[in-house]
């Protein structure tokens, strides 16, 4: 889908967050799972910085999204730092909970949490912990299995294992390379953010 985007700001502190005036979508998941790439593939341009080195995104980066024909921005996308990568355990242990948990708990405009898991790796404890946290907070959440283009014929088995281990019946396969899942994810975003 063609949308208009604008980078708003990078925040390292709650005080810098944009005013919670638009419905916000948060992209969550382990370092390197493909959060920034997924944002770029959804909007069709390279607004979020990506890297093959885990831990690229260190701040919460906010982007305004405007649908064609609309006079003002419709949504905010929040690209979050990753957690739980083996090589950056300190962040997971210290920084992530201190910075991201308050964001998740207190961001009043948060309309949908998109939790990314890697379709190529077995279910991870850190992913299960995040989903448990989101459930406990009663957050509207959808799980997306990224890098589906790499899985090949094992995709349905891999999704099944993730469903079982993570206790989530709905997991959307996604590829930022081939755009698999893009239309479905936009539909989820639309339904989570459009007025009833
Ligand atoms: P952090 O900001 O470090 O937490 O990582 P991130 O989750 O934002 O990951 P990022 O989007 O930077 O992508 C990490 C790596 O995975 C990059 O090398 C991407 O090219 C690759 N990647 C991301 N999505 C896909 C995908 O759908 N398919 C394939 N094959 N590679 C992907
Ligand atoms: Mg990133």
Q: Where are the domains of the chain?
A: 4-193
pLDDT of residue 58: 79
pLDDT per residue as tens digits for the range 111-147 = 999 999 999 999 898 899 999 999 999 999 999 999 9
Cβ–ligand 1 distance for 58 under 6 Å, the answer no
User: Does the CB atom of residue 149 touch ligand 1 within 6 A?
Assistant: yes
The residue nearest atom 28 of ligand 1, judged by CA position, is 147
Centre of ligand 2 to C-alpha 196, Å, is 32
Read off the tokens for 129: 């912990």
Cα gap 49→36, rounded to integer Å: 6
Place of tokens 């014929």: 153
Cβ atoms of 92 and 31 within 8 Å: the answer is: no
> DSSP states of 45-64 as a string?
S--S---SSS----SEEEEE
Residues 85-89 have a mean pLDDT of 54
Closest CA to 59 of 21, 124, 110, 103: 103
The CATH fold assigned to 4-193 is Rossmann fold (3.40.50)
pLDDT tens-digit series, residues 147-196: 999 998 999 999 999 999 999 888 999 999 987 999 999 999 999 998 76
pLDDT in tens, 52-86: 887 777 789 999 999 999 999 999 999 998 886 65
What pLDDT, on a 0 to 100 scale, did the predictor assign at position 55?
A: 74
Contact (Cβ atoms closer than 8 angstroms) between residue 65 and residue 75: yes
CB 39 near ligand 1, within 6 Å: no
- Residues 140, 104: contact at Cβ < 8 Å? no
Residue nearest to atom 25 of ligand 1 (CA): 147
36 lines ligand 1 (CB under 6 A): yes
Task: Please state the atom number of ligand 1 nearest to the C-alpha of residue 176.
Answer: 27
- In short, whether 41's Cβ falls inside 6 Å of ligand 1 is no
Supply the pTM of this predicted model. 0.94
């Amino acid at each position: 889908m063609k949308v208009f985007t604008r980078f708003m700001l990078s925040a390292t502190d709650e005080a810098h967050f944009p005013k919670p005036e638009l419905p916000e979508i948060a992209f969550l998941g382990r370092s390197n799972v493909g959060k920034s790439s997924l944002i770029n593939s959804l909007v069709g341009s390279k607004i979020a910085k990506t890297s093959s080195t885990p831990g690229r995104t260190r701040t919460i980066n906010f982007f305004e999204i405007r649908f064609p024909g609309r006079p003002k921005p419709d949504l905010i996308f929040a690209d979050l730092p990753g957690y739980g990568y083996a090589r950056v355990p300190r962040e997971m242990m210290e920084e992530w909970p201190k910075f991201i948990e308050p964001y998740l708990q207190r961001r009043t405009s948060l309309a949908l949490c998109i939790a990314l898991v890697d379709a190529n790796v077995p279910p991870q404890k850190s992913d299960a912990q995040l989903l448990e946290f989101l459930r406990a907070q009663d957050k509207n959440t959808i799980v997306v299995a990224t890098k589906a283009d790499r899985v090949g014929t094992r995709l349905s088995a891999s999704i099944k294992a993730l469903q079982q281990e993570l206790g989530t019946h709905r997991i959307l396969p996604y590829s930022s390379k081939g755009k698999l899942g893009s239309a479905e994810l936009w539909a989820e975003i639309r339904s989570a953010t459009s007025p009833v």
